[in-house]
Amino acid sequence: MVHKEKNKNYIPFIFYSICLVLVIVLCIYFLGRDTFAIFSKREVDESKEMKIHMLNVGQGDATFIEFPDGMQILIDVGRDRSVVESLSEVMRFNNRFIDMVILTHPDADHVGGLSDLVAFYDIGMIIDRVDDSQDFDSRDVYEKAIGESGAVHIELHDNAIEMNLGDGSQMYFFPNIINAYDYDDLIDDRNEYSVMGKITYRDTSFLWVGDMSHIGERLLVELYRDDPSMLDTDILQIGHHGSKTSSSELFLRATTPKLGLISAGADNNYGHPYKGVLERLYRLGIPHVCTCTDGAVTLASDGEDWWIE
Ligand SMILES: [Zn+2]
């Protein structure tokens, strides 16, 4: 009798064990590596592709870049919570970590979404060029959000900086062009202090200029007159949402983009993108996409070629 009771107790244990094994096997079968991605922050792309997502954040900028080794960089965060909603469309639901957030300049359409972003995501590093002398709206909100993010805060100064991101990727921050030329007329213009940079993944490249105007563009072209390859790029984020103040012919010829990305709200009040800029792009044979008409746009690069997904 005693012996029989003992065997009976084992039956549910064996049954549940078999069920558990079955569930694990089914998960692995149906979800594959996704099952294990839940336990890891970084998702390695085995296809070795870099992805550039121009997020659709209305009238503003937010560009999310995923590198083959899983590193993720966000350039600007839009004006509001739409950055979180847009990111959730391209990031895995369990992925709540962004390695680096670059804030080009503290205008609302570039940094307004910061509080919402830090509430949802852990951030490794925030890079900006905001010093104590700059005056802008909601500075207290901006600083509070950076403090609450827990990220390492790096304030760029005037010099150019080159960062090796590993796995064939590099990032180059252009110098503070206005201070480099001591251009006093523009000393109070935040757009001209935009953090500009270029990301290369092997033979492909992406360059952004924030809201820099044609004056800064001209200074940049002058600065790299003896080394024009520094400005050469495959993909150019068209400056200042396609505003008439940016994208001079001189700069477009110097950067030689194969594609222009324009981030602007549909039917915005600023008239972005400016018709004259679109005509200039057309005349120079530079195709473009705009969030205002195309919504979010994703580009992929295998290091040799790039394409729109
Ligand atoms: Zn802007």
> Given a cut of 60, is residue 165 above it in pLDDT?
yes
Distance from the alpha carbon of residue 211 to the mean position of ligand 1, in angstroms: 5
- Per-residue pLDDT of 222-231, as tens digits, reads 999 999 999 9
**Domain shared by 145 and 205, yes or no:** yes
The CA 77 to ligand 1 mean position distance, Å, reads: 11
State whether 18 and 95 are in the same domain. Answer: no
Q: Are residues 245 and 129 in the same domain?
A: yes
Give me the count of residues in the chain. Answer: 309
CA of 11 to the centre of ligand 1 (A): 67
Residues 96 and 1 in one domain: no
Give distance in angstroms: CA of 60 to centre of ligand 1. 6
Long-range contacts of 270-278 (CB under 8 A, 24+ apart): 270/59, 270/241, 270/243, 271/244, 272/59, 272/240, 272/241, 272/242, 272/243, 273/238, 273/241, 273/242, 273/243, 274/242, 274/243, 274/244, 276/244, 277/238, 277/242, 277/243, 277/244, 277/246, 277/247, 278/242
| Same-domain check for residues 267 and 174 | yes
- The answer on 296 and 215 residing in a single domain is yes
Ligand 1 centroid vs 85 CA: distance in angstroms? 20
Domains in the chain, number: 2
Q: What is the CATH number of the domain that holds 128?
A: 3.60.15.10
Same structural domain, 126 and 98: yes
Domain extent for 13: 1-32
- DSSP SS3 for 269: coil
pLDDT tens profile 231-282? 999 999 999 999 999 999 999 999 999 999 999 999 999 999 999 999 999 9
The answer to the question of residue 39 being in a domain is: no
pLDDT of 18: 65
2 with 83, same domain? no
Please check whether residues 148 and 25 belong to one and the same domain: no
- Is residue 37, in this structure, part of any structural domain at all? no
Tokens (6 digits) for 119: 């509430």
Per the domain annotation, does 38 fall within a domain?
Answer: no
